[in-house]
Structure formats: C-alpha cells, structure tokens
Structure 1
Amino acid sequence: MRNAISQAVVAHTATPAKDSWPLYSRIAWKLIPIIFLVQIFGFLDRANVGFAKLQMQHDLGLSNAAYGLGAGIFFIGYFVFEIPSNLLLDRMGAKLLFARTLLVWGLATIAMAFAKNDLQFYGLRFIIGVAEAGFAPGTQLYLSQWFPGKYRGRINSAFLISLPIGLALGGPIAGLVMSTLHLTSGYAGWQWLFFIEGAVSVALVPLVLRLLPNRLQDARWLNNDEKRIVAEDVAHLARQAESRHWSATLSPMVLCLTTIYFLVLAGNYGIGFWLPQIIRNSGVAHTMDVGLLSAVPYIFTVFAMLVIGKLSDRSGDRARYLVLCSLLSAIGLAVTAIWIRDTAIGLAGMTLVAIGILGSIPVFWAVVARRLTGAAAVVGFAFINSIGNLAGFVSPFAIGIITDRTGTQISGLYTLSAMSLLSAILLILFVRERRTLTDEDTK
C-alpha cells in the first residue's frame, strides 16, 4: 500500500545524525506554526459549545443530559470517520486533507449559530466531528515524516501546546463575545460565538494550501542533502517500529495503549465541556469572569507541557512521565470534587488536571511513534485516537446524566478521578520504555 511515511523514508543502515537539531528546529519553525493555528481553531470549534451552553441551553430548551449528548455526539462522527480520513491523508497528502477539514468544520460551526432545536444541535455537532476526524492522528502521521524519535517529545509538545493555548484563549474570547455582542442585530451571544470562530477557520484555508508542503520532497526550503538527512533519520526510527498493518494495530500493546488513551481523554473532556458550568456553580455569575477564570488552568499547562516534553526526551523513559501525569490528573479531579464550591481551590484542582492530562498527550504519542510506522502507523494512529476519543462522547454525556440526577457534578468528577488512576496502574503494569538514546543524542 502506498503511504505517506514510506515515501519520505529511504532504506539506509546508518544511525541518525547526532548534530542535526538545528536542521529539525528550522523544519519545526516552517511546519508547526501552520498546523498549530489549525489545531487552535479546531479545538475552539470543538470546545466552544461548553461556553455557549451558558446561554444556548436555555434558548434551545436543553436538559443537562441533552447538552451532554450533543457535546459528545461529535465524537461518534469522529470515531466512524477517523481511520478512513487517515487513509485519505495517506493518498492525498496533508495539505488538501487539512484544508478540507478546516473548511467543513468552519462552515458547520457557522451553521451552529442558526440551530433552532436539539435535533439540529445534534446533527451539526456530528458533522463537525466527521470534519475533524483524522486531523489529530493525521498530524502525528505527518510529523513522523519529518522528525526522528529522539526529538518527538519536544516537537509534540511544541505543537500540542496549541491545545492549552486554544483553551486559554477560548474562555476570554467566548466571554467577551457572548457578553458584548449579546442581542446585537437580534442574535444571541452564543450565536455570534459560533459564527465568528467558524468564519476564522474558513479564512485559514488559503494559508494551509499556500504554505504547508504535502511531503518531505515538496519542501522547497530544504536542499537535497537536508532531505536525505531527514529521510535517513526517520528511516532509523522506522526500522525499530512495527510496520505491519492490522496485525500491529490489534496487538496487545496497542490495545493497551488505546485503553490508556481513552481513560486519559475521559478526564480531559469531562473537565473541558463542564469547566464553565463548574466555575459558574462555584459562585461566579458574570459570563466574562467565567471565561477569564477558565483560562487559568491552561496558562499553567502551556509551560508544563514544554518542560514535560523535553524531560521525557532527555530521560528516554517516557512511561514514567505518563504515570506521573495520570496520578496528577487523578489528584486534581478529586480536589475539584471535594472543593467544588470553592472557586480558588477548585481552579487549583482543575489546573492539576489540565497539566496531568494535556502534559501526557505529547509524551503518549511519542511512545506510540516508537512502536508503529509505515502502514501500521497510518491505521494505528487513527485507531488509537478514534477509540480514545470515544471518551469525548461517554464522559460529558455521563456527567450530564449524573448532574441531572444528583444536581451536582461531584460524583462524575470522582468517576473521572478513578479512571485516571486506572490509567496509571495500566502504565505501571504493561508499558515499558527502554532507553535507546545516548545523552548526546538528546541534547
């Protein structure tokens, strides 16, 4: 099967160059800002429903369970189309797939502004999920064409800090838009929020088409010698990883990693979709204040992710950092549940959750990249991400049901804490990382 990675890899028996970080740093500055922007607005379009809920729930007459279903149904579309989208990236290249993704999810987000009932809400959330399917594993597949394993922790962190940055910006932006534009031209603040953020996503499409190279050989800003170095370094990683198709994807280790990713993301989406409501229920009434406070956990997370990514590269034992992050998330969720009515302590707990969950994601994908390459990477990245992201359906929907029945999110938060603890246990028991790099390699 023709695939993106094999086109960027040449057969070679040499070890990766040890003084190549300046080259990879230059490549990172060319590629990462573009997909960084796409990721930010993708996550804004995915998560802005948590802020829109503060006004939209009343206007559309949604119960907490109905809102949770709508927030989570995104991930059903995401799940169904994840692997087909990654196979499509393998055939058409990153540039066209990412541009298509931006266009469709932007238009669907704009359409969300005009939803009139719960069925339209569900349908558009499903379409946004379909549109975004393949983007997250696609970026990991794309980066695996450009960066060898010894740099993947810091490269993933540099790219994936787009998540906390997007979420940190999302709160204040949502609060500002919803409080200042409410009823402007007869539209509610939540409608303006969807319209503006969707329009910006559509506006980014020409940028992606113009600046993002499809594959290594398309990078005009690299000379032939530099392309050869990159191809040989990536090939060195490929020889250490599994390259078979479904046999690798369905191996016990990959299934274990998929389970761990599901447990990690359950906490992420449980907090992400309900964070504005948790802050409001702690006694913060004004929408703008809710937006500003919701940014606090993610501001700290930006710096934590960069540190965790670099330390995991340096140590070579990434599993240890995944365990620590899972434990941090479990503690933070428990703290939030215990002090759910205390804004300051609750925010501190949610900061621990954000650092633990988002800090683990770049390290997690670096672990996966050491185990899968070639055809296995095309399917395996999508398989792990699609199954893991089903937590985005289960988690907010379950918390919505629990909240309707108990009048509080406390029991749901304890459940998420237990799931984070279980992910730490699975990592300790089944995931081992052997140190294969020298200290000189990681400098």
Structure 2
Amino acid sequence: MSQQVLTADGPVEAVETRAYRKVFWRIVPFLMLCYVVAYLDRVNVGFAKLQMSQALGFSETVFGLGAGIFFLGYFLFEVPSNLILHRVGARLWIARIMVTWGILSAAFMFVNSAEMFYVLRFLLGLAEAGFYPGVILYLTQWYPSNRRAKIIAIFMSAIPVSGIFGNPLSGWIMDSFHQTGGLSGWQWMFLIEAVPALIMGVAVFLHLDNSIEEAKWLDADEKAVLARNIEADSRTKQSPQTTAATFKDGRVWLMCLIYFAFVTGQYGLTFWMPSLVKATGVVGNFNIGLISAIPFLCAVVVMILCGRSADRMQERRWHLVIPALFGAAGFIVAATASSTTIAIACLSLAAAGVITCAPLFWSLPTAFLTGTGAAAGIAIVNSVGNLAGFAGPYMIGYVKDLTGNTAMGMYVLAGVLLVGAAAVLTVPAKLVNR
C-alpha cells in the first residue's frame, strides 16, 4: 500500500492545488489585462481606418502596408528583447515595454502623411517587441507542459476580449469625440486608448514577481512543489542550450512555418474586420464595433474549451488542425457572403478557428524548449511568425485595390491556414503530446 507524501502544510496534492490556484489568480488575469491593452493598441488602427484613410487620402495598399509594417519592427527587436527579459526579469522589462508603446500609440494622433504613419507603426512594433513572447516565457517558469495549454488559452483569450470590448469602445470614441477640440474621432481614439498602457506599465512594476523564489505570497512548501514540477518538466526536454544552437534546430523553423500560417489568418481577420462589416451595409462606427465584437465572443468560448480539452486529453496536434480547418472554411464562405447575418456567421467561424490556433500552438514549441533555448526559441518563432502580421494586411489591401473586393484575399487566407494545418501533422506526436 503506497504512503501519501506529506509536507509541512499537508498532503502534497493539496499543497500543489493551493499553489496553482494562488499563481493563477495572482498573475493570469493581470497578464490578460495587459494583453488586452497591448492588442487594442496594436489593432485599433483597423478602426481608425474608417475615418483616417479618407481624411488623409490613404489607399487600401497604403493602409495595409502601414498596418503591417508594425511587424517589421517587431521582428527586428524581438529576439534581443526576450534575451534581455531572460536576463533582467519580466517585471522591469515588461513595464518598460508597456510605457514606451503607450507613448508611441498616443503619438498616432499627430499622423498627417503616409510616411509618418509608416514610421510610427514601425517604432510601435519595435517598442512592443518582446511583450508577448516574454509573457509566454514567463508562464513557462510557473507552469509545466501538462498544465500549459489551458493557461495560455486563458491568457490569449485577451485577443477576443479586446475585440469584444475594444471594437465598440473604439467606435464610440470616434463617433462621440469627433471634432471635439478641433480633433477628429480617430485622433481622440489613439490618445484615449494609449492611457491604459501607461497605467498598466506602472502596475506591472509594482505587482509582478520575476520568479517562484521571489513570490512572497507563496509559502515554502508551495514554492517547493512548483519548483519541483518545473524542474521535472525541464528534465524531459531535449532543448538547445544556446542561442546559436536554437537557430540551427530544424524543429524551431518548422514551428516558425506553422505559426506564420496561423498568424496570417489571425491578423488578416482582426485588421480588416471593421471594413468587412461596414461593406455589408452597417452604418455608424459604434454599430460596426458592436457587430464586429460577435466573432470575438464566439472565439473566446471556443479557445478556452479547446485549451481545456487539449490538456485533459494530452493531445496537441488535432486540437490545432481542426480549428485551422474551420477557420479556412469560414474565410471561404465569408468571401461571397451577401448579407450581414451570413457574413458575421462566417466571420465567427473564421475567428473561432484562427484565434483558437494561437494559444494551442504554443504547447508545441514549449514542449521541447527550456532555459536559454526557450528564451531564444520562443522569440524566434514569434518574431518570424509575426511577419505574417505584415504580409496578411498588406496582401488584402493590395488585392482589394487590384480587384475591387476582398474575396480573393479571403481565399488566400484560407489556403495559408490549410498549409499550417498540414505542417502541424508533420510534428511527431510523441514530441508534443503530454
């Protein structure tokens, strides 16, 4: 008969349950709120387009290029940023990221030319680089692989949450503040929505702990259990131990391909959602915001359910492939939708698919990356994958200028998702299913 392991505070299972409950409520909702702010400042340019393009004479191609150029700055600084975070700690570095991007986001109210638009979008990407992969890296320091899919899915539900609340908010600001103080609605939107980033940057510095060891809100037994689980998880991984070795690891580049495909679908959807909804005949920025929140509401439910299922079944690949296929189907049907109701139903299917892919994807690379390899590898995958944030919006804008509609762009997005789904099935199940 086996003997139950005890700690000073009782059975180890009870201590473990209590410890993870504390960790969750201390850091996950807080980081979610940070990401809501981050994502809103990243994609609110899609709403600004409803007034900004006409006011400044931007073509669809100019807007698509400006929306996407954010990710060139993001790409260039992401790996160095994550390595700095690994060295100095998440508290200081994430706080720095949030404050600098808040200042730059507010500066968009002064845009008066395409060139200035491009420069500020590039600098915003440079400032924000490292936030998302830094948080993913940070979560791997608290949660082992078998708990990670659900937690990352909950954290990344900030993406649809930002759409649910941010889209109506952006529309309301643009309608309500238009011409107040001599400023257009889109200028007020950039200014007002930059303030939360500055506030949360200060909050990160005051609230976040760099590691399990620094967490004064955990007792000694809770810290020991959490640290033991992370150490045991790390022992099972065959991870590259240097940045150079990470760049040479073929598995990392396969992850880049998969993530690039899924991010193409994600940003193709989020940047152009307001314009797609407006094209169906919806009038008024606030109404466009309310209706375009519906697909994100569907996505937040699906992504959390899929994350829980992936952890419960300890299966990763098909939990990625199936949402990708549904996302592709949504884009294909949405391309020829003739009414607002059909368009929103299809966009909801597309959103549930592509947005669900993002958090579930990270259970793949974090299943074999640890230590310095994780800091570099997560940043490499995220930076290369996020180049799709440049390609997707620019491609749709160019195709729309060329053809007069977005149908062909939707078909391309669907095709890219199918490529990503096929690439997932080349990943050995034994590498990631745990």
- Structure 2 residue 373 is matched with structure 1 residue 376: yes
Structure 2 segments unaligned to the other structure (5+ residues):
1-11
Match of 2:164 in 1: 168
Which residues in structure 2 correspond to 1:191-270 (within 5 Å)? Answer: 191-241=187-237, 242-245=239-242, 246-270=244-268
> Can you list the C-alpha shifts for 1:210-244, whole angstroms capped at 9, x where unaligned?
11112221111011221111111011111122142
Which of the numbers 273, 284, 287 marks the counterpart of 1:286? 284
Q: 1:29-66 deviations in whole A, cap 9, x for unaligned?
A: 00112211110010000000000000000111111100
Q: CA deviation at 1:93?
A: 0.6
Q: Tell me if the contact between 1:318 and 1:433 (Cα under 8 Å) persists in the aligned partners.
A: no
Are the aligned partners of 2:75 and 2:384 in contact in 1 as well (CA < 8 Å)?
yes
1:127 equivalent to 2:123? Answer: yes
1:18 is displaced (CA, Å) by 5.5
**Cα RMSD for the two superposed structures:** 1.4
Of 386, 390, 394, the residue aligned with 1:389 is 386
* C-alpha separation in 2, matches of 1:52 and 1:362: 27
Match for residue 11 of structure 1? none
Asked if 1:89 corresponds to 2:85, the answer is yes
- Confirm or deny: 8 A CA contact 1:240 1:370 kept in the other structure: no
With the length of structure 2 as denominator, give the TM-score of the two structures: 0.94
The CA distance in 2 between the partners of 1:288 and 1:213, in whole Å, is: 39
For 1:264, the aligned partner's letter is F
1:414 alignment partner in structure 2: 411
In 1, Cα distance between equivalents of 2:286 and 2:369: 44
Give per-residue Cα distances to partners, 1:242-292, cap 9 Å, x unaligned.
142232443222211110100001011111111111111111121111111
Determine the structure 2 residue equivalent to 1:105: 101
Match of 2:271 among 257, 273, 279: 273
Change in CA separation of 1:404 and 1:95 when aligned onto 2, cut-off 3 Å: same
Q: 1:361 aligns with which of 340, 358, 362?
A: 358
Q: Match for residue 3 of structure 1?
A: none
Which residue matches 1:141? 137
CA distance in 1, matches of 2:344, 2:270: 13
Percent identity for Structure 1 against Structure 2:
38
Cα distance in structure 2, aligned partners of 1:320 and 1:18:
30
The match for 1:430 is 427
Identify the residue that residue 22 of structure 1 maps to in structure 2. 18
Deviation by residue 1:51-106 (Cα, 9 ceiling, x = unmatched): 00000001111111000010000000000000010011011110111111111110
Q: Distance between the aligned counterparts of 1:346 and 1:431, measured in 2?
A: 37
> 1:369-388 deviations in whole A, cap 9, x for unaligned?
11100111010000000000
What residue in structure 2 maps to residue 58 of structure 1? 54
Kindly indicate whether residue 332 of structure 2 is the aligned counterpart of residue 334 of structure 1: yes
CA pair 269-75 structure 1, distance change in 2 beyond 3 A: same
